[in-house]
Amino acid sequence: MIKPTVLIVFILGIAGYNLLRNIHKTHYVLKRSNGYHTFFSSSSAGIILFVIATLLYFWLIKLGYNYNPDNSLGKSLLETTFSQEFTPEFISLIEISALTLLLSQAIPWFFYLPLDKKEMLRREFLRDAESPEFTRLFYQSSLTGIPVLFTLSDRKVYIGYIYEIQVKQFTDIYILPLFSGYRCQNELKLKKVTPYKSVVDLLETKEIERKKNVLSRAGYYEEDINEYVNDYLDQRNIWADFIIALPLREIVHAHLHDFAHENMFRELEVNHKWKELGSFRFSGSSENIFKMK
């Protein structure tokens, strides 16, 4: 039989880790921790939960639960599972432990019930000083839908969306490219060369036609064919075949690149229609530009 002290330590660790993992303020801190730091953080949170569960357990007893130990739910489950008798103290310990685990899941669930937990996690990741490089830029890209332009040390350029970003320290950024190109040596103007999006669109069109022809020859109805093809494209992500890993050490510069404004900038640059800013000042308050947190 497992010793009560071992059981308590085990429960404290699991319950505390589960609680911290589900709270946006501690989620990323916990993920970046390791070893004893993770153990002590989880155990500390578990101790708080265990104390709350103990108080709640005795409050339930005051209300009438487990007034007769022979009729308790914990006793019935333990004896049915292990086919042996247990002391009332051990039964109470098991019930408090189960209540601790339940609280570690229930507290965050009820807390985030009226809130947008996913958005709060994203904002916390953005504000976290330990978040990786370019985090705020990635966040703005996901928020606005505008791709990011990366300029590498060899003047190679990639324009695309961030496919994956790690919480812990990492060395590469994975992107789904829309275009690639380079910057000319003298003026560093952008020259787009490879249109990844056009290639992917062409591959998707050919894939759709091929699937439709196969299903049509097999005698399927048009409505069934269209439904199957749509489901197939949802599962078969052609974009994933063109994921590019960019080493962080090679990225010299990155910024949002809005294709909707690209032609406007090019026209003004070619025709030299831009004007000197002179004594230009931002009309809003400085708080709208700089935010110290």
Average pLDDT over residues 127-143: 72
Q: Strands, DSSP E only, in the chain?
A: 148-152, 156-164, 172-183, 190-195, 244-247, 251-256
Instruction: Give which of 86, 87, 4 is closest to 50, Cα–Cα.
Output: 4
Structure tokens at 272: 């030299």
Separation CA 247–CA 244 (nearest Å) = 10
In degrees rounded to 5, what are phi and psi of residue 55?
-65, -40
Q: Which residues contact 132 (CB under 8 A, 6 or more apart)?
A: 165, 166, 169, 170
Structure tokens at 84: 């042996």
Separation CA 118–CA 278 (nearest Å) = 44
Question: Which residues on adjacent β-strands are paired with residue 159?
Answer: 149, 179
Residue 227 has pLDDT above 50, yes or no: yes
* CATH 2.30.30.100 segments of the chain: 132-276
Distance between start and end Cα atoms, the chain: 52
Instruction: Check if CATH label 2.30.30.100 holds for domain 132-276.
Output: yes
Average pLDDT over residues 14-31: 89
Average pLDDT over residues 93-107: 90
**243-288 pLDDT per residue, tens:** 999 888 898 889 898 888 877 777 776 666 555 555 556 555 444 4
